[in-house]
Structure 1
Amino acid sequence: MFNNTMSKDFYKILEVSRSASEEEIRKAFKKLARKYHPDMNPGDKKAEEKFKGISEAYDVLSNPEKRKKYDTFGNADFEGFPGGGGPSYSYNPFGGGGGGFRSTGNINPEDLGDIFGDLFTGFTGRAQQGQGRGRRQRRPAGFDFGGAATGETRGKDLTFSLDLDFLEAIHGCEKQMRLPNGVMFKVKIPPGVTSESKIRLAGQGEPGYNGGSGGDLYIHRHIRSHPIFKREGDNIEVELPITIMEALEGAKVKVPTVDGPVELKIPAESQSGQKLRLKGKGVSNPKEKTRGDQYIVLQVKVPEGLSGAQIAELKKILSGKEGNPRGKMNL
């Protein structure tokens, strides 16, 4: 319990002016509470005391009746007013029987819910809490704002997004990550994962309260695109530019694959858009114990910068041999 509350300047504690609106006071409280919350400053007694003072100030200034009495009787003992006793605070960082922060004061649970939602952001900037994207719990599980301990409560699930390079997703890899409680751990990414799949780490979400089990941690994967490779299911597609002569005569050329360059034979008289298959050079599917193929899409490149004489020579050579490429379209 805080005593002699009126010896403190609650406006100064919240870093607002005496004419501050309710919204300005609420925003100031949320900003400072995030900064000094014990979960963000484990073991820091000064931060914990600062957090209590901020909460105490907000309890008074967010209540119009209490704020009016505070402004009127600035030198009086605030606890002496009927119904005006200061809030009681205790903090147990996710341990023991009572759960974490508890308040018997007038703090709006939604304000604290927003703060607790922000405490569990991480990794790539797209952290989510609860079951849906961007949702925040309106009241942290296990927190009783009436002062009484709640019953056994399971911790909330947490969801994080993990960025992967295209080839990391194809071949699989290990990623090191940090949990909200500071614990470092490695996640093994199997070959062939997709952005739609996710990893579930049982019990690694928010801690439970009053003996409840911990929530789960879900890791959603965001796979970055690649400038050369395009994935279609378990298959890989690559557009390969070739010269007119390579298309006419045929050629052996090197082509990129997810395993490194390989040699490919281009048939004579190949057409732009024609697909060639590299069997077994696609994406591994551990579940089916198969591997997809890679398809090479030929793109015949027309030479640039030809002189008028060279173009005239080509016309002479190709005269009567080109046919009508749009004949099948009845054009």
Structure 2
Amino acid sequence: MSDNPYDVLGVSKTASADEIKKAYRKIAKESHPDLHPGDGTAEARFKAAGAAFELLKDPEKRARFDRGEIDASGQERPQERQFYRDFAEQPNNPYRQGPRYEGFGDEADIFAEFLRRQRGHPGEGYQEYSFRARGADAQYALEVPFLEAANGGSMRITLPGGGNLEVKIPKGVADGTTLRLRGKGGPGHGGGAPGDAYVTLSIKPHPIFTRDGDDIVITLPITLYEAVLGAKVEAPTIAGPVKVTVPKGASSGQVLRLRGRGVARAGRPAGDQRIELQVVMPKEVDAELSSFMEGWSQTHAYDPRKDWRAKA
């Protein structure tokens, strides 16, 4: 698999930000580990797409990659000539002035000479200089359980070389969000600052809850007699179970709303929880129920499709 982020996402180098996002979401949906358990190829493609999207969605990083300043993982590429230019501007650079290096021709040769003298023996009359550089950034992908994403929490990433990286999950974080952990990347060189860690989150689907913006949506099964007579039943929420009232004569598809029981992101009011009722018939319709409904239908006939047909 190519490590070029454009190849990974299957887009051209001139692709727009929307085209890049669309390509990433398509791959993430098709290759999500939850849809392909135990499939190492799908998992690798999912992670590669996340890393590629993280680089290309940032205009500055994308431009630096296109210029060859960083590689596909976001790490700095060797820039010998640029280093020489930066060094040459220092006022205490012993090579900045003097006939020995004037008209040398190729600045790369000058840089090589500088490195050679850096490795020279003490006492030769040359001042020692150290190379200082910021550490490389690190890219990680983290799958977050639905409830941890909704309520916030803390998770750990096991690093390749051992040890752990703690990741604070903000309350209400959305799928595809990338968190920046300052100073948690590669170590700096020569006293330079460490790089940052970028963690792209994928939210694991939940068997009951789905998310619509800041609202939480569930389908709640109810019995035939609860629908007819009304009842108080228990319903799950992301903060724990609550009692809800099913009104008399409830129908499948009817929606109950619990205000403020949805996702509460920082600085925003909490969303709601929407409960769609689903009337579930008993597994077996016995003679007693059949006899009752036959008698009831003869005196209480109604047509639930009348208004529906009028719309056709």
Give the TM-score, by structure 2 length.
0.56
Q: Choose the corresponding residue for 1:273, options 244, 248, 253.
A: 253
CA contact (8 A) 1:247 1:266 kept: yes
CA RMSD of aligned residues (A): 3.5
Write out aligned runs for 1:174-323 (5 A).
174-179=154-159, 182-209=162-189, 213-288=193-268, 290-307=269-286, 310-319=289-298, 321-323=300-302
CA contact (8 A) 1:242 1:300 kept: yes
Matched, 1:157 2:137: yes
Unaligned runs of 5+ in 1: 1-121
- Structure 1 residues 174 and 139, CA gap change in structure 2 (3 angstroms): closer
SS at structure 1 position matched to 2:55: coil
In the alignment, the residues of structure 2 paired with residue 327 and residue 175 of structure 1 have an alpha-carbon distance, to the nearest angstrom, of 54
Shift of 1:230: 1.1
SS at structure 2 position matched to 1:319: helix
Structure showing the higher helix proportion among its residues: 2
Larger radius of gyration: 1
CA contact (8 A) 2:133 2:189 kept: yes
Letter in structure 2 aligned against 1:296:
I
Write out aligned runs for 1:80-99 (5 A).
none
In the alignment, the residues of structure 1 paired with residue 161 and residue 284 of structure 2 have an alpha-carbon distance, to the nearest angstrom, of 63
1:142-168 deviation line (CA, Å, top 9, x unaligned)? 498x9956x765544322111211111
Partner of residue 55, structure 2: 131
Partner of residue 97, structure 1: none
Letter in structure 1 aligned against 2:55:
Q
Letter in structure 1 aligned against 2:156:
Q
Matched, 1:329 2:308: yes
Shift of 1:311: 2.2
CA contact (8 A) 2:253 2:277 kept: yes
Letter in structure 2 aligned against 1:277:
R
Percent identity between matched residues is: 36
Letter in structure 1 aligned against 2:77:
A
Shift of 1:195: 1.4
CA contact (8 A) 1:239 1:299 kept: yes
Letter in structure 2 aligned against 1:165:
P
- Structure 1 residues 210 and 180, CA gap change in structure 2 (3 angstroms): farther
Partner of residue 74, structure 1: none
CA contact (8 A) 1:158 1:218 kept: yes
Partner of residue 150, structure 2: 170
- Structure 1 residues 218 and 323, CA gap change in structure 2 (3 angstroms): same
Letter in structure 2 aligned against 1:258:
I
1:262-289 deviation line (CA, Å, top 9, x unaligned)? 111111011110000111111111122x
Unaligned runs of 5+ in 2: 1-43, 58-70, 81-107, 116-130
In the alignment, the residues of structure 2 paired with residue 287 and residue 139 of structure 1 have an alpha-carbon distance, to the nearest angstrom, of 34
- Structure 1 residues 213 and 239, CA gap change in structure 2 (3 angstroms): same
In the alignment, the residues of structure 2 paired with residue 178 and residue 160 of structure 1 have an alpha-carbon distance, to the nearest angstrom, of 10
